[in-house]
Copies of this chain bind each other. A is one copy, B any other.
Amino acid sequence: MDTKNVVIVGATGAVGKAMIKCLDNLEFPVGNLRLVASERSKGKVVKTSFGEITLETISDEVFESSDIALFSAGGDISREWRDRVVAADCLMIDNSSAFRYEYDVPLVVPEINPDAAREHNGVIANPNCTTAIAAVVLWPLHEAFGLKKVIISTYQATSGAGAKGMQELLDQTRDVLEESEGNPLKVSKCHVEPRAFAHPIAFNIIPHIDKFQKNGYTKEEMKVTWETHKIFGDDSIAVSCTAVRIPTLRAHSESIVIETEKSVSVDEAREVLEDSDGVKVVDNPDDELYPMPLEASGKSGVRVGRIRQNIVFGENGLEFFISGDQLLKGAALNAVQIAKLFV
C-alpha cells in the first residue's frame, strides 16, 4: 500500500494529540510523521505508536516533504501558512473555521459528502465539532425523511476550549470544593478567577460560546446553521441552535427536535440510524441506556438515544439526544477520515 507523509500542525494540543491516535486507530498508512508545535516545545520528544518523534517548529521545508498537513493550531496560523502549504503541493486539512465558508474550500464529513473532498484546491475544511456530531445523525434522517426544521440545544464540554479548558474546570472545581468545604450553600459564593471562559464553569453553565453576532446568536450557534447547509448541499433546511458550555470534560451532547417532510416513526428512524456509519444507537430506557458524555468519551461513534415521536410536530416530528466525543468525530477523527479519502 502506498504510504503518505503526514505533518500535524498543533501537535501538542488536545486535538493534535487525538490526531496522532486516530492515524493509528484508522490504520492510516503513515510514511513519515512530523509534529509541529510552538517555539516553546521545540526539541521535545513525543512517544507515539509511530516511534519517538521530535517536535519541530513550522517551516516551508516541513510541507515540502509532506503529502498531507493536518492543521489544528488556530485560524491565524492556518491563514498565515495556507498559500505556502498549497504551493508545496501538500494537501491542507484544516480544523479551524478560517476557510470553511469559502466557495472553493470543501467542508467535508466523509459519511456524508466524500465526493466534495475531490473538488479541493489544496485546502479541505474540517467542520465545527457541534455540527459534525449532529450531522452524522441528521444526514441519514434527511435522506430517509427529508428535514424541514432542526432545533438544537447543546451541552458542550470544556474540551471545546482545548486542554486549557479542561484544566480550568478541574482546577476551579478543586478550589471551589476546598473553599466551600463541601457545603452546597457556599458554592455560589466562592471566588474564582475565570481565564479560559467568560465566567466560572465549576458547578455552573454558560450560554455563550464564541462571539455574539448581530442577530443575537453566537458564532458557534450560527456555525451549526451555516455548516449544516454547506455539508448537506441544501440551504432550505431551517436550523437553529443554542450553544451552552457545561462543566464536563469531554464529549458534547445535543438535544435535537426535527420536523420532517415525510411522516416518520420511531421504529423507522431507529432502523435508519442503526444502518448508518459513524452512528451508534444507545436507546434502551428500560435498562437506563441512553447517550451520556462520560460513556461517549474516547469512542468514535456518535451515540443517539431517547428517540421519540415529538409532541409538537406529531407524526412528522422526532426528538432525540446525542453524545459524541468532540475531540474525535468533532475534530481529529473527522480530519483523519478526510485524509484517508486520499489514500
User: What chain B residues lie within 8 Å of A249 (beta carbons)?
Assistant: 184, 187-188, 203
Which residues in chain A, 303-317, are within 8 Å of chain B measured between CB atoms? 305-312
Do A216 and B173 touch (CB < 8 A)?
Answer: no
Q: Quick check: is A321 within 8 A (CB to CB) of the other chain?
A: yes
User: What chain B residues lie within 8 Å of A199 (beta carbons)?
Assistant: 288, 292, 294
Query: What distance in Å separates the Cβ of A138 from its nearest Cβ neighbour in chain B?
Result: 14
Copy count, this protein chain = 2
The range of chain A's interface size is: 35 or more
Do A225 and B311 touch (CB < 8 A)?
Answer: yes
Query: What distance in Å separates the Cβ of A342 from its nearest Cβ neighbour in chain B?
Result: 30
Q: Quick check: is A58 within 8 A (CB to CB) of the other chain?
A: no
Do B238 and A155 touch (CB < 8 A)?
Answer: no
Q: Quick check: is A257 within 8 A (CB to CB) of the other chain?
A: yes
User: What chain B residues lie within 8 Å of A113 (beta carbons)?
Assistant: none
Query: What distance in Å separates the Cβ of A133 from its nearest Cβ neighbour in chain B?
Result: 15
Do A155 and B285 touch (CB < 8 A)?
Answer: no
**Known interface pairs A153-B153, A212-B286, A286-B212. Does A204 touch B240 (Cβ–Cβ under 8 Å)?**
no
Q: Quick check: is A215 within 8 A (CB to CB) of the other chain?
A: yes
Q: Quick check: is A120 within 8 A (CB to CB) of the other chain?
A: no
A-B contact pairs, 18 of them (CB 8 A): A155-B244, A155-B246, A170-B177, A184-B249, A187-B294, A188-B294, A203-B247, A203-B293, A204-B248, A205-B246, A207-B253, A207-B291, A212-B285, A215-B311, A216-B309, A217-B308, A242-B306, A244-B253
Given contacts A163-B184, A204-B293, A244-B321, 10 further A-B contacts (CB under 8 A): A153-B242, A170-B184, A184-B250, A187-B294, A188-B297, A207-B292, A207-B321, A216-B308, A217-B308, A240-B312
